[in-house]
Structure 1
């Protein structure tokens, strides 16, 4: 029986221990600063924030290209002969990365691509769903595994609060007027994935400690998330006391397992320092 290998992009923000445990193959996306191209995962989040502090400009990002996907799939075949590759990808509605994978995949057999229509912890939740199912049922057919993954894609919910309006303003994602009003009123927009697109769905007012808890409560009220697993995402700078409280709230709401994911350099260019997100799969 052919072995099933899972792959994804660095934009899934999967912790290294989970990548190693499940032998998930991760291809990097790109962060560009001062005209230099850095691989996401090789450049630190601290470098991204220091670049902004110096220049007051956020780095740009770029998708994984066709050549990189071709190398990824070739290396998987060399490392794991006689395998089936299932690539679980970053939303095609917010990046050209998935289309690059589609083009590269034309040269390979037994290679299947799934557009999760999600990013960071939402994408990571889908990858981990597949990895855990594969661990529980090692003899599972690739057809059934793909069917199961597709079934939870529309039920995967991600919401996050950018840590800094400065990053949204510098990236052209909010107007100067909205930035000034938001800063004065301490307003934080909630960003969710709707049909693969990043959409501001509501606004919260206050400090991150209270706002993050409000987001969690709204999220739990709106979505019937499977209590077996919850993913919490943070960008560097989120206060440890806030993280502890959010984990307590998760446990109070009946979640058996809560896993923190740190936003990598690419995602942090959008979230800014001190950001918070939550991801899970509806029952």
Structure 2
């Protein structure tokens, strides 16, 4: 039995079998779309949602897990271990961190550590996997927290979108800017800076956007997660190019789900790098 149990949220996008085998407690965020509220599922379960999104003029809204959701997750985790570390999506992107913290106060504050990952997707997944490994090695809660915080500073996310439509629908672009950008085939490059998604560049066309994103990967990179929204063909192109440039890096392809993907739109793609 692992003494320290690990809790995270659904935006780490684990495959269900993987989460079960590693005994990771997943607390899902929710998506409200066309009057229906659903918990975000696991990687590999998202195709129907994005097919529906492509054929709709509506725009989903997302919500953090409730305090009660985390209370239940902590109680489950305490059945398997004595202490808990919860690593969650950036507090700048979601209120999930606050829910996790308030729940800890209600359950056993002195036995639960909450870490703001300041990231999401493939990088959040890496932090969680690292915490699991360190826990299995017998490190203390403080030691694991220190290692996770150090790793958190050696990460980056850069991405682009296939269409500006979903940034417009979400209020991140004006109608005029979206229209002109579409006309000129502008692809924004968006980066995660201090836990927030911010524009870091713009390119004409997919090829230049791809080159701009790859150019931001540091030479010392150890792991790259190619994160995509229902865009496996382009993800394979990225993988082929990355394997040439970074032969020593571990490179994986990972799906983004509705909570993140609905704001970016189908075929969005990016790189989660760690070193």
Conservation of the 8 A alpha-carbon contact between 2:163 and 2:182 = no
Residue 272 of structure 2 corresponds to which residue in structure 1?
279
How far the C-alpha of 1:246 sits from its partner, in A, is 1.4
Of 220, 226, 238, the residue aligned with 2:221 is: 226
Q: For residues 36-75 of structure 1, what are the structure 2 equivalents within 5 Å?
A: 36-41=36-41, 44-75=45-76
Please tell me the root mean square deviation across aligned C-alpha atoms, in Å.
Answer: 2.1
Q: What's the offset of the Cα at 1:280?
A: 2.0
Alpha-carbon deviation of 1:239? 5.1
Residue by residue, what CA displacement relative to the aligned partner does 1:148-203 show, whole Å, maximum 9, x if unpaired? Answer: 01111122211111232111111111101110111011111111111111111111
Cα offsets for 1:37-88 (capped at 9, x unmatched): 100017953343344344312211011111111111111113x0x4211100
Distance 1:191 1:15 in 2: 26
For 2:241, the equivalent position in structure 1 comes to: 249
Q: Secondary structure at the match of 1:49?
A: helix
Residue 99 of structure 1 is matched in structure 2 by 98
- Residue 210 of structure 2 corresponds to 212
Q: Secondary structure at the match of 2:152?
A: helix
- Deviation per CA, 1:91-138: give whole Å up to 9, x if none: 111211110111000121411100011122232232223234445xx2
Tell me what 1:112 maps to. Answer: 113
Alignment of 1:80-95 (within 5 A): 80=80, 82-95=81-94
Aligned to 1:29: 29
Question: Which residue does 2:9 correspond to in 1?
Answer: 9
User: In the alignment, is the contact (CA less than 8 A) between 2:31 and 2:38 conserved in 1?
Assistant: yes
Report the counterpart of residue 183 of structure 2 in structure 1: 184
Q: CA deviation at 1:144?
A: 1.1
2:189, 2:209 within 8 Å by CA — same for their partners in 1?
A: no
Q: Do residues 270 (structure 1) and 270 (structure 2) align?
A: no
In 1, distance between residues paired with 2:162 and 2:129? 26
If the length of structure 2 is used for normalisation, what is the TM-score?
A: 0.90
Structure 2: segments with no counterpart, 5+ residues: none
Does the CA contact (< 8 Å) of 1:15 and 1:261 recur in 2?
no
